C-alpha cells in the first residue's frame, strides 16, 4: 500500500510538472460554445503555427475571427473533431485589422468554400478598408470566378459574393445564438484596429486582436469566460535591437503588461495567441505572465479546443 501511495504521488507530481503548453484544454460536454484555435501564429513562417484565426462555434454555427494563412485547411482539419467547421460552413468572418498576417487567408475563405459547395455569400465584418480589400480580391480572381460559375462547373454565383460590413465600436452583429460587439484597440500606426466580445447562451469570449496594452480589453472582458490575448516575451524583447523594441512596444503587449490587464479583466481563463517569443521558450513566456497574474493561463497551439 505504501508503494502504491508513493507511485500515485509520483504520478501527480509528474503531471503537475508538465509544461503548460502541453495541456490540451477541452470544453465540458455541456458547453454549447467552443473556441477552436485555427491559427496562433505571427508573420514568422512557423510551420507549426498558421496565421492568426480563431473560430467560435455555437451549436453548429461558425463565427471566425481573422483569416491568417492556412485558415481553410486548418478548419478542415478541425472539422474532424468539430464537424461544424466543414469548409462549406465557413460563412461569417470578423476582422480585427487588415495586417497581412490576419488577412492573407481572406481570398481562400472567399473562394475555397465556394468551390466546395458553400450555399451562401461570405459575410465579412471589419474596420475601414475591408470593402476596398474585398473589391480588389474579387477583381484579382475575376477570371477564376467567371470560369467556375459560367463554365462546366456551373458554380453558384452567390457563393462567390461577399457581403461586407465596415463597423464601428459597439454591437456589430446579433443572431439567436450570439451577440458580437467590437471595441477599439491600439495597434501602433494602424488607423483602426478592433477587438471583439462574443456573448453566447453559455459563455462570453473576448478576443484582443493585435494590440498594445488597452483598457478597452479590460472593459470588454470584465470577468469573461475566456480572454484570448496576443503577447510577447519581455525577456526576448529585451534582447532585440532598439528599432525592433520601438516597434513592438507600440504594436503589441508584453507578458508583464498582459498580467496586469488580466488581473484587472478577471477572465476565468486566459488564452495566449499570436505569441512572439523572440528566442524565449513557450514555458518561459507563460511563467512571465504568471509572475504577475495568478489565474489560469494557457499558451494556445493550432487546433486546440477550449
Residue 4 lies in a domain: no
Q: What is the pTM of this model?
A: 0.90
Residue 305 lies in a domain: no
**230-257: per-residue pLDDT in tens?**
999 999 989 989 999 988 888 999 999 9
Residue 225 lies in a domain: yes
User: Would the pLDDT of 130 be above 80?
Assistant: yes
Residue 257 lies in a domain: yes
Residue 107 lies in a domain: yes
User: Would the pLDDT of 14 be above 90?
Assistant: no
Residue 56's domain is classified under what CATH number?
3.60.15.10
Angle at 104 (CA atoms; ends 168, 244), nearest 5 degrees = 85
**77-126: per-residue pLDDT in tens?**
999 999 999 999 999 999 999 999 999 999 999 999 999 999 999 999 99
As for how many domains the chain has, the answer is: 1
SS3 content of the chain, % helix, strand, coil (to 5): 35, 25, 40
Residue 9 lies in a domain: no
Residue 5 lies in a domain: no
Give the domain extent around 158: 22-299
Please give the sequence-ordered ranges of beta strands (E in DSSP) within 2-41, or none if there are none: 33-39
Residue 13 lies in a domain: no
CA–chain centroid gap for 190, Å, is 19
Q: Say what percent of the chain tops pLDDT 90.
A: 86
Amino acid at each position: 500500500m505504501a508503494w502504491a501511495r508513493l507511485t500515485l504521488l509520483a504520478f501527480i507530481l509528474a503531471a503537475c510538472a508538465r509544461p503548460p503548453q502541453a495541456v490540451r484544454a477541452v470544453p465540458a460536454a455541456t458547453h454549447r460554445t467552443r473556441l477552436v484555435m485555427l491559427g496562433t501564429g505571427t508573420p514568422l513562417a512557423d510551420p507549426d503555427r498558421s496565421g492568426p484565426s480563431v473560430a467560435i462555434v455555437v451549436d453548429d454555427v461558425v463565427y471566425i475571427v481573422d483569416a491568417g494563412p492556412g485558415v481553410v485547411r486548418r478548419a478542415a482539419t478541425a472539422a474532424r473533431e468539430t464537424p461544424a467547421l466543414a469548409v462549406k460552413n465557413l460563412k461569417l468572418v470578423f476582422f480585427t485589422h487588415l495586417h497581412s498576417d490576419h488577412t492573407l487567408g481572406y481570398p481562400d475563405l472567399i473562394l475555397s468554400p465556394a468551390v466546395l459547395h458553400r450555399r451562401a455569400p461570405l459575410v465579412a465584418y471589419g474596420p475601414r478598408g475591408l470593402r476596398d480589400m474585398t473589391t480588389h480580391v474579387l477583381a484579382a480572381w475575376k477570371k477564376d470566378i467567371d470560369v467556375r460559375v459560367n463554365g462546366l462547373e456551373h458554380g453558384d454565383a452567390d457563393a462567390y459574393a461577399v457581403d461586407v460590413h465596415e463597423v464601428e465600436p459597439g454591437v456589430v452583429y446579433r443572431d439567436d445564438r450570439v451577440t458580437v460587439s467590437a471595441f477599439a484597440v491600439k495597434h501602433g500606426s494602424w488607423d483602426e484596429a478592433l477587438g471583439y466580445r462574443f456573448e453566447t447562451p453559455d459563455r462570453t469570449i473576448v478576443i484582443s486582436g493585435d494590440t498594445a496594452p488597452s483598457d478597452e480589453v479590460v472593459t470588454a472582458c470584465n470577468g469573461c469566460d475566456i480572454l484570448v490575448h496576443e503577447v510577447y516575451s519581455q525577456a526576448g524583447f529585451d534582447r532585440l535591437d532598439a528599432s525592433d523594441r520601438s516597434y513592438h512596444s507600440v504594436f503589441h503587449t508584453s507578458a508583464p503588461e498582459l498580467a496586469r490587464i488580466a488581473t484587472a479583466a478577471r477572465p476565468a481563463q486566459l488564452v495566449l495567441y499570436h505569441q512572439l517569443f523572440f528566442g524565449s521558450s513557450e514555458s518561459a513566456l507563460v511563467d512571465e505572465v504568471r509572475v504577475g497574474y495568478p489565474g489560469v493561463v494557457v499558451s494556445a497551439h493550432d487546433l486546440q479546443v477550449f
